[in-house]
């Protein structure tokens, strides 16, 4: 009997994960549970081997892309694939069967191919539309997710932004931050209301950002290495499209629920 291959759906891409032994499958199904899918796969992920661990300094993640072939590394895990064949070889490190750091890099790379970006951000859905809050570690992404109250949190660390025929959408991902697995409980999406780049303060304030400022603020928060010319070019195009379509703000905030009233007052 053929082994059952788990399917994971992230921001519209459905990965069929093959090559896992039973313990690996169980780990994947537990770790990515809310994102398991029954939809037809769009990408096959072949977990082929496990890289040996090489002690020493861990190099920075990398992404290269040429002639439809790409290679990603979040060492010691690596992935390489062919965009036309929609197949990816995924060589995990010892430990998790589907290394989350590398899987996130892969999701970001494939999302970029669809014109989207995977952003270091939290997102909260208020009255059907998503506010996305971005910034470096410590800027308050998880804090804001904790202020959501009855509003739906899409994630406290990693949000997929994807263009579509009816505008940009914010999509949940399974890559949560310090808020833990409770921040990735459901695979949901919502139309994008606005992007906010955070700074902690004693009160509330905001400034509308120009499209160029928006790209400059978002660029370092995208989960992709930017040291490949084609990757950087495609990323710049995606961010430019986002910044010209969606309002963005520099947002100062205090950790109080009055935040939502302040956001109501934005244009």
Partner 1 sequence: MDSAETFPVRKPVPWRTLDTEALLVDVKGGLLYPLNSVGARIWELCDGARSVEEIVGVLAIEFEAPEATIRADAVEFIERLADVKLVSIERRRRGESR
List interacting residues with partner 1 (CB under 8 A): 210-213, 215-216, 219-220, 225-229, 232-233, 236-237, 240, 243-244
Q: Which is nearer to partner 1, 224 or 263 (CB)?
A: 224
Q: Which is nearer to partner 1, 186 or 236 (CB)?
A: 236
Cα 247 to Cα 249: distance, rounded to the nearest angstrom = 7
Least separation, in Å, of the C-beta of 211 and partner 1? 5
Q: Are 190 and 130 in contact (CB under 8 A)?
A: yes
Q: Which is nearer to partner 1, 51 or 213 (CB)?
A: 213
By C-alpha distance, which of 257, 248, 208, 259 is closest to 119? 248
Q: Which is nearer to partner 1, 122 or 214 (CB)?
A: 214
Least separation, in Å, of the C-beta of 45 and partner 1? 26
Least separation, in Å, of the C-beta of 236 and partner 1? 5
Least separation, in Å, of the C-beta of 215 and partner 1? 5
Least separation, in Å, of the C-beta of 113 and partner 1? 16
Least separation, in Å, of the C-beta of 229 and partner 1? 5
By C-alpha distance, which of 120, 179, 117 is closest to 153? 179
- The first and second tokens of residue 25, run together, are 């499958």
Cα 62 to Cα 208: distance, rounded to the nearest angstrom = 33
Q: Which is nearer to partner 1, 186 or 237 (CB)?
A: 237
Q: Which is nearer to partner 1, 80 or 213 (CB)?
A: 213
Contacts of residue 71, defined as CB under 8 A and 6 or more positions apart, other chains included, come to 62, 63, 64, 65, 78, 79, 80
Q: Are 123 and 263 in contact (CB under 8 A)?
A: no
Q: 66: buried, middle or exposed (CB in 10 Å: 19+, 13-18, 0-12)?
A: exposed
Least separation, in Å, of the C-beta of 35 and partner 1? 29
Contacts of residue 103, defined as CB under 8 A and 6 or more positions apart, other chains included, come to 90, 175
Q: What number of CA atoms fall less than 13 Å from residue 16's CA on the CB side? A: 13
Q: Which is nearer to partner 1, 88 or 238 (CB)?
A: 238
Q: Are 18 and 5 in contact (CB under 8 A)?
A: yes
Three-class HEC string of 86-105: CEEEEEECCCCCCCHHHHHH
């Amino acid at each position: 009997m053929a082994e059952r291959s788990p399917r994971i759906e992230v921001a519209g891409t459905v990965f069929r994960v093959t090559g896992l032994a039973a313990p690996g499958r169980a780990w994947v199904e537990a770790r990515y549970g809310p994102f398991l899918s029954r939809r037809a796969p769009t990408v096959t992920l072949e977990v082929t081997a496990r890289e040996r661990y090489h002690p020493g300094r861990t190099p920075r993640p990398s992404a290269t892309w040429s002639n439809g072939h790409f290679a990603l590394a979040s060492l010691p895990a690596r992935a390489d694939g062919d965009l036309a064949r929609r197949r990816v070889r995924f060589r995990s490190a010892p430990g998790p069967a589907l290394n989350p750091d590398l899987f996130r890099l892969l999701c970001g790379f494939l999302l970029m191919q669809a014109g989207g970006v995977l952003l270091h951000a939290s997102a909260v859905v208020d009255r059907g539309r998503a506010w996305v809050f971005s910034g470096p570690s410590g800027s308050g992404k998880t804090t804001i997710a904790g202020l959501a109250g009855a509003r739906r949190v899409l994630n406290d660390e990693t949000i997929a932004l994807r263009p579509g025929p009816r505008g940009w959408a914010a999509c949940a991902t399974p890559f949560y931050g310090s808020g833990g697995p409770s921040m990735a409980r459901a695979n949901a999406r919502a139309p994008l209301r606005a992007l906010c780049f955070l700074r902690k303060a004693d009160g509330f304030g905001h400034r509308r950002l120009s499209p160029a400022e928006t790209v400059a603020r978002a660029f370092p928060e995208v989960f992709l290495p930017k040291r490949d010319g084609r990757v950087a070019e495609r990323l710049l195009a995606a961010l430019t499209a986002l910044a010209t379509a969606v309002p963005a703000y520099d947002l100062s905030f205090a950790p109080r629920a009055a935040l939502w009233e302040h956001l109501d007052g934005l244009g």
